[in-house]
A and B are shown apart, each in its own frame.
Chain A
Amino acid sequence: DTGVSQDPRHKITKRGQNVTFRCDPISEHNRLYWYRQTLGQGPEFLTYFQNEAQLEKSRLLSDRFSAERPKGSFSTLEIQRTEQGDSAMYLCASSLVNFGGSTLEKLFFGSGTQLSVL
């Protein structure tokens, strides 16, 4: 299967611990997005990359959150000193766009990482 892969599927951690999630996009895709979703809500944008460059970060992304995409391939999202409010599904999506963007950009999502902070 060549879809978007996320690891782990589930993570349970204690408050104050650090966690890291990984996303492997579809291989030829140049954009990679991170979203967060809580129960009964739509996904909220966190950050996105075009190749290895992080182009935008949401105000939701506090200093405890950091994301990287070395070499423009897989991406990691780290949360330091987790809080109970960080409990959510963390979704990764990838897409392929031409230079300057495209009205045809279609996002392909992974299955997400469900984080529970106790």
Chain B
Amino acid sequence: KQEVTQIPAALSVPEGENLVLNCSFTDSAIYNLQWFRQDPGKGLTSLLLIQSSQREQTSGRLNASLDKSSGRSTLYIAASQPGDSATYLCAVRPSGNTPLVFGKGTRLSVIA
């Protein structure tokens, strides 16, 4: 059974810092991996999707990497801003017709 772990559970950084959020998964045979952002009391917004054949994806100040063999993904946020404060969730799709399996998320606070 696929399990997804995110470390740290919470992170507080000053504005302007670069930071890395970590995600690990137990079964390296994945279909794709997706990073989401969730604001308090709201739904999830998709940030980046990495196919199993890819090693990274970039969108603006965000960069996500994937190392299937080690069962890890990282989300890199450059030049953090207070508006980046949210919970970031990592989710893995085990196969094409199975649902996403989520981690518990990392709660990020960027202090002005």
Contacts and interface: CB of A to CB of B under 8 A. Distances in A.
Contacts of B91: 42
B31 A103 contact: yes
Interface residues of B, number: 29
Given A100-B96, A105-B32, A105-B93, A42 B4 contact: yes
Interface residues of A, number: 30
Nearest to B95: A101
Contacts, number: 67
A56 to B, nearest CB: 7
A110 B31 CA distance: 23
Contact of B103 (A35, A42, A45, A109): A42
Interface string A60-98: 000000000000000000000000000001010100000
A48 to B, nearest CB: 6
Interface of B: 4, 31-32, 34, 36, 41-46, 49, 51-53, 89, 91, 93, 95-105
Given A101-B95, A106-B34, A106-B46, 10 more contacts: A33-B99, A33-B100, A45-B100, A93-B44, A101-B97, A103-B52, A109-B44, A109-B46, A110-B43, A111-B42
Interface of A: 4, 6, 33, 35, 40-45, 48, 55-56, 89, 91, 93, 100-112, 114
